[in-house]
């Protein structure tokens, strides 16, 4: 084996010490660095572009590139005033855990591929069932993220309502799937990939609080059945990606049950907030879903990518995904030791995702995470209070969880265009970072608090930063 691949133990220790020093400094200096250092594609290519290297580069030089280029010119999701999108800050224990997972390099396809890793994943799934009210008989697995979790849930729904679909396809049927106008675009993508078709995804109106209108859902289902279509699934959002709105989960569950519809909940952003006191009431009936998507790499502060899908009835998942081939045939094992994750989701090769989840929950406990989520929600509501008390900003949507949508209003002209320029200039300034959405035709400055480092002072600083930028643009 080439010497450069077989690294001696002492050299590994040297690399590890140097890398951990970089990591520790990164966490230590987060609050004092820009959220984003502006650059261009051409500028970055000028620094790193080269022919494929034929020979080795010393590790200190590689670490220097990571520090001077990758660290410097990345958008820092762990910064306390990064409010863009729904991005986790990560955490130190998982930084170390990721190194261990890479060293072990376990391919968690089934129990025999990694007995301990498989048991840890099954344990973390049991924890989710316990925390979110799913029955003991439910099943699930970890996937790459919320989009893949939604895909898996809708695949199970399709097989449950069309039992021969895996073998025969839909054969001319026109299945109808329902989600609100605020639902995540991954639902439409899943419908396209599953052969349901985006034209068969029916858009349900929302109420004044941007939550699914159950009366409009009933109207669409009745209309489709009268036209000879086949309604089969309704998707509720446990916190939409745009505004954080929580659909009325209980009434939708009742409607789905009475109309023989599969009930899928997209909880990728907000579902885990059910463990926080202020979110328990709207999420009290999460466990009634036929399938539920979650993203531990969002509100459990894990590194990307760790999503989760839970199935109320494991048989529905096996009907959608179970496959047999001679090279995967289990020999000499029975019962739990014959378990295969590929029977419950689309992947064969799978990393040891559960290690990060297990490490975090064991190292800090559910109570600490619940408190952190509660503080994130409180920060978003504090921002809303500040906006409502101001004379230069206005809220554009209620704050159901930790997403807030507002705009600057003291401008005589096109407010949409001005707020768009305001957001971009703020992003380039580096002190705070917001993203955008549209609420009732209005361009909204959109933020999401998803960082255990963020405080109320950061919310005040955000408005100060916006005022400073607005003064420059006016």
Distance CA 278, CA 270 (A): 12
Q: Span 101-363: which CATH code? A: 3.40.640.10
Distance CA 396, CA 364 (A): 36
pLDDT band at 31 (very low <50, low <70, confident <90, very high): confident
Q: What is the pLDDT of residues 3-14, one digit of tens each?
A: 678 899 999 999
Q: What is the pLDDT of residues 379-394, one digit of tens each?
A: 999 999 999 999 999 9
Q: What is the pLDDT of residues 97-112, one digit of tens each?
A: 999 999 999 999 999 9
What is the pLDDT at residue 333? 55
Instruction: Decide if pLDDT at 311 tops 90.
Output: yes
**What is the pTM assigned to this prediction?**
0.94
Mean pLDDT of 15-32: 93
What is the pLDDT at residue 164? 86
Please indicate whether residue 82 or residue 326 has the higher confidence score (pLDDT).
82
What is the pLDDT at residue 3? 61
Instruction: Decide if pLDDT at 366 tops 80.
Output: yes
Please indicate whether residue 193 or residue 327 has the higher confidence score (pLDDT).
193
Instruction: Decide if pLDDT at 313 tops 80.
Output: yes
| Of 376, 381, 320, 307, residue with least CA distance to 346 | 320
Q: What is the pLDDT of residues 139-150, one digit of tens each?
A: 999 999 999 999
Domain ranges of the chain: 101-363
Cβ atoms of 414 and 454 closer than 8 Å: no
Whole-number Cα distances in Å, 241 to 76, 237, 300, 403, 451: 20, 9, 16, 8, 16
Q: What is the pLDDT of residues 192-212, one digit of tens each?
A: 999 999 999 999 999 999 999
Q: What is the pLDDT of residues 408-467, one digit of tens each?
A: 999 999 999 999 999 999 999 999 999 999 999 999 999 999 999 999 999 999 999 999
Kindly state the tokens that stand for 101.
Answer: 């997972």
Percent above pLDDT 70 for the chain: 97
Cβ atoms of 141 and 309 closer than 8 Å: yes
pLDDT band at 171 (very low <50, low <70, confident <90, very high): confident
Instruction: Decide if pLDDT at 328 tops 80.
Output: no
What is the pLDDT at residue 6? 87
What is the pLDDT at residue 326? 57
Give the 3-state DSSP-derived string for the chain, with helices as H, strands as E and coil as C: CCCCCCCCHHHHHHHHHHHHHHHHHHHHHHHHCCCCCCCCHHHHHHHHCCCCCCCCCCHHHHHHHHHHHHHCCCCCCCCCCECCCCCCCCCHHHHHHHHHHHHHCCCCCEHHHCHHHHHHHHHHHHHHHHHHCCCCCCEEEEECCHHHHHHHHHHHHHHHHCCCHHHHCCCCCCEEEEEECCCCHHHHHHHHHCCCCHHHEEEECECCCCCECHHHHHHHHHHHHHCCCEEEEEEEEECCCCCCCECCHHHHHHHHHHCCCEEEEEECCCHHHHHCHHHCCCCCCHHHCCEEEECHHHHCCCCCCCEEEEECCHHHHHHHHCCCCHHHCCCCCCHHHHCEHHHCCCCCCCCCCHHHHHHHHHHHCHHHHHHHHHHHHHHHHHHHHHHHHCCCEEECCCCCCCEEEEEECCCCCCHHHHHHHHHHHHHHHCCCECEEEEECCEEEEEEECCCCCCCHHHHHHHHHHHHHHHHHHC
Q: Which of 90-94, 139-143, 245-249, 256-260 has the lowest mean pLDDT?
A: 90-94
Mean pLDDT across the chain: 94
What is the pLDDT at residue 337? 84
pLDDT band at 336 (very low <50, low <70, confident <90, very high): confident
Provide the terminal-to-terminal Cα distance of the chain, rounded to the nearest Å.
65
């Amino acid at each position: 084996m080439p010497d450069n691949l077989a690294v001696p133990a002492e050299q590994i220790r040297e690399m590890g010490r140097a890398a951990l020093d970089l990591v520790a400094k990164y966490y230590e200096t987060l609050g004092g660095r820009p959220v984003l250092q502006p650059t261009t594609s051409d500028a970055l290519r000028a620094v790193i572009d080269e022919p494929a290297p034929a020979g080795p580069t010393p590790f200190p030089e590689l670490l220097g590139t990571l520090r001077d280029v990758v660290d410097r010119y990345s958008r820092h999701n762990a910064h306390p005033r990064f409010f863009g999108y729904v991005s986790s800050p990560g955490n130190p224990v998982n930084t170390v855990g990721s190194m261990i997972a890479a060293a072990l390099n376990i391919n968690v396809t089934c129990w025999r591929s990694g007995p301990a890793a498989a048991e840890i994943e099954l344990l973390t799934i049991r924890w989710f069932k316990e925390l979110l009210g799913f029955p003991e008989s439910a099943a699930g697995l970890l996937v790459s993220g919320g989009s893949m979790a939604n895909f898996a849930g809708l695949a199970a729904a399709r097989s449950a309502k069309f039992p021969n679909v895996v073998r025969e396809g839909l054969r001319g049927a026109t299945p109808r799937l329902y989600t609100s106008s605020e639902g995540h675009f991954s639902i439409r993508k899943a419908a396209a990939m599953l052969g349901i078709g985006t034209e068969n995804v029916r858009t349900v109106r929302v109420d004044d609080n941007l939550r699914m209108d159950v009366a409009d859902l009933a109207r669409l289902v009745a209309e489709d059945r009268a036209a000879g279509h086949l309604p089969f699934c309704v998707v509720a959002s446990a916190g939409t990606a745009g505004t954080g709105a929580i659909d009325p989960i209980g009434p939708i569950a009742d409607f789905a049950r009475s109309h023989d519809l599969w009930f899928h909940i997209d909880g990728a952003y907000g579902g885990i907030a059910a463990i926080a006191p202020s979110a328990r009431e709207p999420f009290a009936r999460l466990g009634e879903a036929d399938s539920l998507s979650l993203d531990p790499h969002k509100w459990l502060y894990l590194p990307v990518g760790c999503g989760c899908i839970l199935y109320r009835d494991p048989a529905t998942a096996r009907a959608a995904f179970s496959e047999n081939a001679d090279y995967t045939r289990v020999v000499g094992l029975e019962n739990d030791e014959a378990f295969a994750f590929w029977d419950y989701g689309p992947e064969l090769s799978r990393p040891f995702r559960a290690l990060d989840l297990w490490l975090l929950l064991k190292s800090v406990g559910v109570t600490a995470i619940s408190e952190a989520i509660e503080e994130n929600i409180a920060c978003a509501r504090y921002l809303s209070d500040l906006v409502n008390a101001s004379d230069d900003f206005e809220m554009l949507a209620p704050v159901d969880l930790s997403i807030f949508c507002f705009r600057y209003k003291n401008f005589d002209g096109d407010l949409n265009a001005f707020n768009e320029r305001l957001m971009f200039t703020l992003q380039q300034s580096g002190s705070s970072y917001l993203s955008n959405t549209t609420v009732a035709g209005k361009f909204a400055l959109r933020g999401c608090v998803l960082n255990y480092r963020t405080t109320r002072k950061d919310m005040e600083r955000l408005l100060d930063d916006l005022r400073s930028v607005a003064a420059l643009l006016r």
